Amino acid sequence: MTDIKPLDHLRVLDMSRILAGPWCGQTFADLGAEVIKVERPGTGDDTRGWGPPFMVDADGNETDTAAYFLSANRGKKSVTVDITKPEGQNIIRKLVAECDILLENYKVGGLKKYGLNYESLSEVNPGLVYCSITGFGQTGPYSSRAGYDFLIQAMGGLMSVTGEAESKPGGGPQKIGVALSDILTGLYTVIGALSALAYREKTGRGQHVDMSLLDVTVASMANQAMNYLIAGKSPTTMGNAHPNIVPYEAYKAADHYIILAVGNDTQFRRFCEVAGRVDLADDDSYATNRNRVGNRDVLGPILNDIIAAKPRAFWLEELEKVGVPCGPINNLEQVFDDPHIKARGVRQEVNHPAVGALPTVANPIRFSESTIDYDRAPPLLGQHNVDVLQNLLGIDETTLSKLKDDDIV
């Protein structure tokens, strides 16, 4: 292991808020980049107030920083700048001259009136990689619309395949339990920005990266999208069942639910051996996945009865022995208490200036040579004004004081 971070040669200006952009910025920070988060003076990122729950200080008192904000802003430096004023716009231009990447999620054209759009800032820094994250992209008939994760999950098809079948009690479309369209867009934006940097290495030129939550959501429909394109039939909600694999869903054991995820015919036979029903594996109707999918309505009730006859512990232990994927359905308390999660170091702590030790969820990337350190907590609002504006940009103390008095920073 070395102290060299993969992206410690990069500086990112994060002008985004809420989740997709901040998630992208946090990923860059985890990988070693210097990420400067620009926030509104006095209020900051909207999600600072998106609670409860709120961060609690060492004395047990609730602070004004929500857990939501803490989830997506680790490792960043916070500076406050009022971009609606000419002095604030000038600060952004100076920062752009020192940065490799800019992240923003304003409405299409929203920054042009401040002279902070790509065309304007690329004149300041021709090598700038300018990433715009919007609900619907920079072009197209919906480009001027505001886009939120819930709306995008619906419009992008994700909700149409999520939820119990409409024919069953409680059936119908459901959103995913986290803002997955936002998260995926943040990750795709990292890929887009790094690709644009690779292009810059070859040409010396930066470029505008146009990221749309709707585009990302449709692209992430993966096999479901291809199921439609090939078959010409829209997939529907199927509860926990899989459209292309059987058995691959949740089953109620005698005491608790389990997940059974049989990925091939060999695993199905092993399951049948453990269940004492080898006859099912020998039956041509169920011997192959193709036939199991075609006969799922008949096989499903049979499997329900088999699994309901024994407790969860039996299935978890016996199927693990023969290599059939099977597991419990954990709540988050159980997740963080899981010995494997503990061994992988998924729960980390950072030292926060206001509360001391603050729990955080580790970045899932594991390097053989580099480390991801959790030594930079989500910032206080404007915590790094002096560090960035004075030390990086060279703004003297008197000018900085005046900017503060005028509510520019």
Instruction: Point out the residues that are catalytic.
Output: 182
The two three-digit tokens of residue 182, written as one number: 């936002």
- Give the start-end residues of each E strand in 288-355: 326-328, 347-352
**Which pair of tokens denotes residue 278?**
């080898």
First to last CA, the chain: 40
Tokens of 34: 């210097």
Helices (H) and strands (E) in the chain, counts: 17, 13
Residue with tokens 């960035």, as numbered in its chain: 388
User: Token pair for residue 318?
Assistant: 């016996």
Distances (CA, A) of 150 to 69, 176, 185, 304: 18, 9, 14, 33
Distances (CA, A) of 226 to 156, 184, 388: 14, 19, 47
Using CA atoms, how far residue 16 sits from 13, 20, 82, in Å, is 9, 8, 14
Q: Which residue has the tokens 């990292």?
A: 190
For residue 161, which of 264, 263, 250, 244 has the smallest C-alpha distance? Answer: 244
Residues 332, 337, 343, 344, Cα dihedral to 10°: 10
Handedness of CA 4, 10, 11, 13 (dihedral sign): negative
Q: Scan for tokens 């470029």, then name that residue.
A: 207
The residue among 100, 92, 91 whose CA lies nearest residue 205 is: 100
**DSSP E strands, 190-280:** 207-212, 248-252, 257-261
Tokens standing for residue 29 = 């920070």
